[in-house]
Every structure is written in C-alpha cells, then in structure tokens.
Amino acid sequence: MRRWNRWAWREIILTAAIVVAILAFFFLPLPKYIEGPGEANDLKTFVTIKNHPDKDKGKFMITSVALSQARPATYLYAKFNSYYSVESVDSVTGGESNATYDRVQNFYMQSAINEAIYTAYRAANKPVKRQYLGIYVLSVDAKSPFAKKLKVGDTVTKVDGHHFNSMTGYQHYIQKQRVGKRTTITYQRNGHDHEETAKLMKLPTKKAGIGIILTDNVKVTAKPKVKVDPGEIGGPSGGLMFSLQIYNQVTGKNLRHGQKIAGTGTVDGDGNVGEIGGIDKKIIAAKRAGATVFFAPYVKPSKLLLKYEEHHMTNYQLAKATAKKYAPNMKVVPVETFNDAVKYLEAHQ
C-alpha cells in the first residue's frame, strides 16, 4: 500500500509539473513584445460625412501591426517566421507606462485624422480651417529642468509669452536662447492653463532646450462635418489612407473603381507622406485582405538613411521586397505626397 501511494504521488506530481510547464509555455508573460501582421480594415466603416455616403465598390483599407506581450510559444513562433519580430519593451513603449503609451498612440491617431481631413478638404476645395494649438508633449527627459512640471499629454502654448504657429517656431526660439537662461513655459493640462519657470538645459546638439520630445497639436474644422472613428487602432500611420477615403467621399469621385487598395504612411498639413514602422507586416495584412494595390511612402535612399532604417531599407524598398516574396500579384506604389496617390488612381482606372 505504501509503495502504491509513493508511485501514485510521483505520477500526480509529474502530471502536475507537465501541466504547469504546458501552461507556462503558452501563457507565461515574457518581458518582450511580438509584432506581426495586423488587419486591413475597410475605411468605409470609419468615416462618416453627412450626405456624402460611400456607395462605390472596392475598399480603401487601413493596415495595422498586431502587438502582443510575448509568451514562450509566441516567442518561438516569431523567431521562425520572417514577418514576425521580437521587440524589447523600451523599443515599443519608449520606457513609458502602458497608460502613457496608449495616451500617446491615441493622440497620434487623432492628429493623423486631423491632418487627413485638412489634406483631403483642401484638395477637394471644401471649407476647412486648421488651428495651431501648440506643441504636444510626447515624453519628458528625466534630466529636464521641467521633468517634475511637464507631463506627457500637456500642450505647450507659449514660451516666454510667445506663441508660434509651428513646432519649428518654438524650437528655433528656444535654441537661440543661452543654456541656463530662466524660461517660462505656458501649457494646457485638462483644459486649464499653467505656467512653470526653469533654466534651459544643454541638449546633445550643444544648443539650449527644455528636454522634451514633441509634436504639433492642431484642431481642424471642416464643412461638411466629418466624423472619423478609428476604433482600437492607434498611431499616426493611417494618415494617407484616411485622407484618400475622406477625399473620395467628400468629392463623390470614384477613385477605386472596384479595387481593394491598401497602404500606409503619415500625412502632414501640406499633403506630404512620411515613413512609418512595420511596413513588411502591413503588406502581409493587406495581402490577406485581398488588396491588389499598396501605397508605400517613398524617400530617396542614402547611405546615412539606410544605416538607421528598419532592416536597412526604406519603407518602399522593404514593402516591395516583402510583396515580391509573399504577395507577387500586389502592386506596390511609391508615393511622396497625397496628390501622388490621387494621380495614380486617376491614371489607373
């Protein structure tokens, strides 16, 4: 009886250990993230313009990258699949908390939507206004004199009482000051104005600065009013495709002619298209959704640029290489501006 009990307990312990190991393999969180192909969503479901419905066939699709915390199983899967990647926590969140990271991504998305509306309405000759609110604080250097004063999500509206109409305006003013000069920053937080004064720090460029990473914060109003609901998608990379969808609806032009058209890239107030991350994964997402055309941001490659680019290739080079391998029937179209994309669609009906 004792021998039976010993063997029975050994079997129970061994079985429990195996179960724990299996559960850990699939569910134990690791201090890494897995990036892979996300979805290619039909923008008809995102954009609403009163009296301007989209009834044309085909789709403009916004592509995304799927991001999830790594588990041992997904870590191994990513290591053996070329269009998945393992990323450090800091490279994904910038060292910020998940809440701060989400706040920044949501701001990026809203900013992309604003610039897309402005770009599309200007191209359509429709009434649109762009109000420059200030510079949005994306992160604050721990060594910044304003580190305990400014927070991610604040909008700087004045420096020493001066308001500028561009991010570069603020940067040029501050960089002309001497390091150590006491400077007053006026900013908004939760709709209320605040002021803080501190000495300017020396940046790695040797010039004076306040030690923040920033971007433009703008407000756009348009007629007819347009509503864009991005759902759970964050980040700035949907700007180009949002602008195409909005332009298609507000003008009533049929740019797609039944095609499924995907793409990616930021867009600014002048319609310039900028590079983004994870374009290889977005090509896979577009292919799975049946896209036949993919718009990719284009920049002229150089040795210095390629040194810092993802996979040491520009967005367009990486998109084209990925499509050649995994989606040979998809046409990858390089675009530098919103107008480049429109002209392509008008010429390829």
At 98, is the pLDDT very low, low, confident or very high (cuts 50, 70, 90)?
confident
For residue 278, CA distances in Å to 199, 237, 320 come to 39, 10, 13
Determine whether 70 is exposed, middle or buried from the number of CB atoms within 10 Å of its CB (0-12, 13-18, 19+): buried
Quote the Cα angle for 276-278-280, to 5°.
Answer: 115
For residue 293, CA distances in Å to 201, 203, 262, 283, 329 come to 48, 43, 6, 10, 9
What is the rounded average pLDDT of the residues 213-222? 90
Q: Are 329 and 300 in contact (CB under 8 A)?
A: no
One of 85, 111, 237, 243 is an active-site residue; which one?
237
Question: What's the pLDDT at 63?
Answer: 97
Q: Does residue 66 register a pLDDT over 80?
A: yes
The string of DSSP letters for 296-341 reads EE-----HHHHHHSGGGS-HHHHHHHHHHHH-TTSEEEEESBHHHH
The total of other beta-carbon atoms located within 10 Å of residue 167's CB is: 17
Q: Which CATH number fits domain 131-218: 2.30.42.10, 3.40.470.10, 2.60.40.10, 3.40.50.300?
A: 2.30.42.10
Question: What's the pLDDT at 324?
Answer: 96
Question: What's the pLDDT at 3?
Answer: 56
Cross-strand bridge partners of residue 139: 213
Cis status of the peptide bond prior to 127, with omega within 30 of 0: no
- For 117-144, the pLDDT digits (tens) are 999 999 999 999 999 899 999 888 889 9
32-127+224-347 CATH? 3.30.230.10
Sign of CA dihedral 261, 299, 117, 110: positive
Known catalytic residue: 111? Answer: no
What is the rounded end-to-end Cα distance, in angstroms, of the chain? 83
- Amino acid letter, residue 56: D
Q: Does residue 299 register a pLDDT over 90?
A: yes
- For 330-344, the pLDDT digits (tens) are 999 999 999 999 999
Whole-number mean pLDDT of the chain?
92
Task: Pick from 133-137, 211-215, 304-308 the range whose average pLDDT is largest.
Answer: 133-137
Cross-strand bridge partners of residue 332: 294
- For 238-255, the pLDDT digits (tens) are 999 999 999 999 999 999
Tell whether pTM > 0.85: yes
Known catalytic residue: 206? Answer: no
Question: What's the pLDDT at 19?
Answer: 87
Residue 228 CA to residue 247 CA, distance in Å, equals 13
One of 59, 260, 282, 320 is an active-site residue; which one?
282
**DSSP single-letter state for residue 57:** S
